[in-house]
Every structure is written in C-alpha cells, then in structure tokens.
Amino acid sequence: MTSCKLSERRCQPCEGGVAPLDAATSARLLADLPGWTKEGEQIARTFVFADHYEAMAFVNAVAWISHRENHHPDLAVGYKDVRIAYWTHAICGLSENDFICAAKVEKLLAF
C-alpha cells in the first residue's frame, strides 16, 4: 500500500480490543512516508517552515485532518517548527489510522 493510497483512506474507529500493528507491517507502511521515523510506539516527523505564520497555518491544517478523521496527534509547536507524533492510545501502539493520518499530512505539503 502506498502513501498515496493511504491518504485516500479514512480512519476507522478504534476503541481497543485489537492488537497494534506488527513490526513488519509498521516498517512497510513507514517506508512509504519519507521523513517519518518510528520512535518507540509512535511515528513522528518534524516539519520546519520559513516563519511562525507558516508553522501555525500548517498546525491548523493538521487540526482539520484530525477533526475529519477523529484521530489526533501529539503536536509540539515551536517558532517555525512543528513536531507531529501519531500512535493509537486505545491500543497502546500503532494502527493503520496513524499511517493514514501521516499520509494526509504529507499530502498537505505536496502542493
């Protein structure tokens, strides 16, 4: 599955009761997301912008994705950098939802 196809998918509700993705599946999905890394039980990436205004516009766009998908990242916002980390709290690990949202974030910057 490529990140393009991931970005076209929708997150599925996850209330727990399912296992996190295994390491091989996570690695395969992560390979389609350049710049993203696996950090423990999360996938994360830091984005750097020209100024604070661009960073905040990006944060607002990520918030829109989060709202639409009902899947929310941890965000750390600096003056012109934004760190995004995804993991599925309900299963204490990675789900396909994390990779779907990361792919949608990547699509924001493809224009």
Model confidence over 38-73: pLDDT tens digits? 999 999 999 999 999 999 999 999 999 999 999 999
Inside any domain, residue 20: no
Inside any domain, residue 74: yes
Element (H, E) at 96: helix 96-108
Going by the DSSP 8-state scheme, the letter that residue 73 receives in this structure is -
Domain count, the chain: 1
Mean pLDDT across 23-39: 96
94: which 2 tokens?
């990675």
Inside any domain, residue 41: yes
Residue 38 sits in which domain range?
A: 32-108
Model confidence over 85-107: pLDDT tens digits? 999 999 999 999 999 999 999 99
Which pLDDT belongs to residue 1?
45
We report the CATH number of the domain holding residue 69 as 3.30.1360.20
Inside any domain, residue 27: no
